[in-house]
Amino acid sequence: MGNLIIYSRSNSSVFEVIPNLKTLTNCIFYLGLREDIIKIYKNYIFYISKNFYVSRSELRRISRHTSLEGIEEIIFVYFLKPQFKRVNIMELLAAIITYSFLDWEQKIVLGIQIFDFDGSKNLTEDEFFIMAKCFIYGISTMTQGISAENDVIKFLSHSLFLNRAELTISELVMWVRQNQLLYEMFQFNQPNVVKNDKKKRDSRFGSLERKTVDLRKPVAHHRRVKSSFNDKREEKFSVVIDSKIVTKQEIIMLKSQFDELSNNGLVLFKTIFPVIKTLGYKLENVVDHNSDKQISFHDLLQMLFRKASKNQLLRLLKFIGESIKESVILEEEKPANKKKNFDPKLYHTYKMMFDRYDTNKDGRIDLKELKIGLKNTFTETTIENLFEKYNKEKKHGLCLREFVKMYAPESFELPENINK
């Protein structure tokens, strides 16, 4: 997560937390314990949980009986998203976790569980992207620093998930440990560890999986929380597709409507169309709303969530206990020839990054230049693997086209006249 920031240590690559937000780093009176953070998260799940953005009144409700109570106005001033006139609660939680009185491993464990939206106990690429973005934006708010662009964060996520579908807690811990800047940042405010007690530290690291915080267990001995939080959180399990939160309850309701009209797992498209329109879904590029084609529930999900990956569709189906089956999707809907788009603004961003990394201005980025550019984000081994993967011409460096392909989504198309 790259160019991030800590407070209270002399480090030329970071900035200091601004004075008005230092109350959020006070490990004696504010946010000193894991239970306090969990209480904030539970309040969010119980009372809000529609999306990540909360109003001033909702923030007060979430802060009730927590260490945030009484400083909501300060939080709202600095964490406010002007375009929404609300606060992103996940960015706030990420900032709080970073500066909490926990050791660095506990911070990672707590973070991965809060951002595990579908309850799989691992992180998928989209969940990791949201988590990384929230930590970067949250810390930049605390320090009033400049955060990374979305495209850089997407590149980070894509690169980390090149050879895996999910990231376990142990894998994330090891990844952070290999990134010196992140490792130092997450050690802020952590309890002292006796240096000579190496055996204890090794056993603590080795038993990380057994130390997983179970957010479903109540913090306080309160009958209502004890009996309902697990169910409440399970209701709120979700998959984030193209910035839209798709909840488990939403899929269960959709499946119920589908089953009422289906025959042997299939339904006429013209029969289901009025139902999904009533539920508020929009279908784009469907040629004939009165088609007699029969579709499965999986086909329907593909139509409703056109930007969903296969892995995301699989997770939606898991909400109702199903798996991906053979599609009989409408001919007009088959994504075989998905159109690629050229975005001038996005290309300009990539070109600026290329020029910045190309320090000797020879028109190519060699391995040494790439290592310098990504040194605060990836290990040397990861950078070498990326260079090998995208250096198709096997020359001394990446050309602009190869560099853009390393960063850009698959739907991004470069003009033919860009160097090859």
- pLDDT tens, position by position, 303-355: 888 888 788 888 888 888 876 554 444 444 444 444 455 567 667 777 888 88
Residues 44 and 145 in one domain: yes
Residue 409: name the closest of 312, 335, 338 by CA: 338
> Angle, nearest 10°, between helix axes 344-357 and 150-160?
70
| Any domain includes 246 | yes
> Cβ–Cβ contacts within 10 Å for residue 229, how many?
19
Question: Which pTM does this prediction carry?
Answer: 0.61
Residue 330: predicted pLDDT: 43
| Any domain includes 378 | yes
Residues 54 and 184 in one domain: yes
| Any domain includes 361 | yes
Residues 168 and 294 in one domain: no
Residue 230: predicted pLDDT: 63
Q: State the SS3 of the chain.
A: CCCCCCCCCCCCCCCCCCHHHHHHHCCCCCCCCHHHHHHHHHHHHHHCCCCCEECHHHHHHHHCCCCCCCCHHHHHHHHEECCCCEEEHHHHHHHHHHCCCCCHHHHHHHHHHHCCCCCCCCEEHHHHHHHHHHHHHHHHHHHCCCCCCHHHHHHHHHHHCCCCCEECHHHHHHHHHHCHHHHHHCCCCCCCCCCCCHHHHHHHHHCHHHHCCCCCCCCCCCHHHHHHHHHHHHHCCEEEECCEEEEHHHHHHHHHHHHHHCECCEEEHHHHHHHHHHCCCCCCCCCCCCCCCEECHHHHHHHHCCCCCHHHHHHHHHCCCCCCCCCCCCHHHCHHHCCCECCHHHHHHHHHHHHHHCCCCCCCECHHHHHHHCCCCCCHHHHHHHHHHHCCCCCCCECHHHHHHHHCCCCECCCCCCCC
Residues 6+ apart with CB under 8 A from 128: 115, 157, 160, 161, 167
Q: What percent of the chain clears pLDDT 70, i.e. is strictly above it? A: 67
Residues 178 and 269 in one domain: no
Residue 219: predicted pLDDT: 47
Residues 159 and 293 in one domain: no
- What pLDDT tens digit does each residue of the chain (420 aa) get? 433 333 333 333 345 677 777 767 654 434 456 788 888 888 888 877 667 899 999 999 998 888 888 889 989 999 998 888 999 999 999 988 888 878 888 888 888 888 988 888 888 888 888 898 898 888 888 877 766 667 777 777 777 787 777 888 888 888 887 766 666 667 655 554 434 444 444 433 333 343 344 444 444 444 444 446 566 666 667 787 876 778 888 888 899 989 988 888 888 888 888 888 888 887 766 656 777 788 888 888 888 888 887 888 888 888 888 765 544 444 444 444 444 555 676 677 778 888 888 999 988 999 999 888 877 666 677 788 888 888 877 778 888 888 887 776 655 666 666 654
| Any domain includes 403 | yes
- Strand ranges, E, within 242-310: 244-247, 267-268, 294-295
| Any domain includes 418 | no
Residues 23 and 152 in one domain: yes
Q: Of how many residues is the chain composed?
A: 420
Residue 10: predicted pLDDT: 35
How far apart CA 398 and CA 363 sit, in angstroms, is 9
- Report residue 314 as tokens: 């699989």
Domain final residue, candidates 296, 311, 337: 337
Residue 90: predicted pLDDT: 93
How far apart CA 410 and CA 313 sit, in angstroms, is 18
| Any domain includes 4 | no
Residue 212: name the closest of 116, 132, 92 by CA: 116
Contact indicator for 258, 267 with CB cutoff of 8 Å: yes
How far apart CA 287 and CA 269 sit, in angstroms, is 12
The total domain count for the chain is: 3
Residue 286: name the closest of 303, 302, 298 by CA: 303
Residue 92: predicted pLDDT: 93
Residues 210 and 271 in one domain: no
Residue 88: predicted pLDDT: 93
Q: Please give the residue range of the domain that contains residue 351.
A: 344-407
| Any domain includes 5 | no
Domain final residue, candidates 292, 322, 337: 337
Residues 172 and 50 in one domain: yes
Residues 152 and 218 in one domain: yes
Residues 319 and 382 in one domain: no
Residues 142 and 52 in one domain: yes
How far apart CA 350 and CA 407 sit, in angstroms, is 8
**CATH number for the domain harbouring residue 354:** 1.10.238.10
Domain final residue, candidates 229, 257, 278: 229
Residues 225 and 307 in one domain: no
How far apart CA 100 and CA 84 sit, in angstroms, is 27
| Any domain includes 237 | no
Residue 231: predicted pLDDT: 63
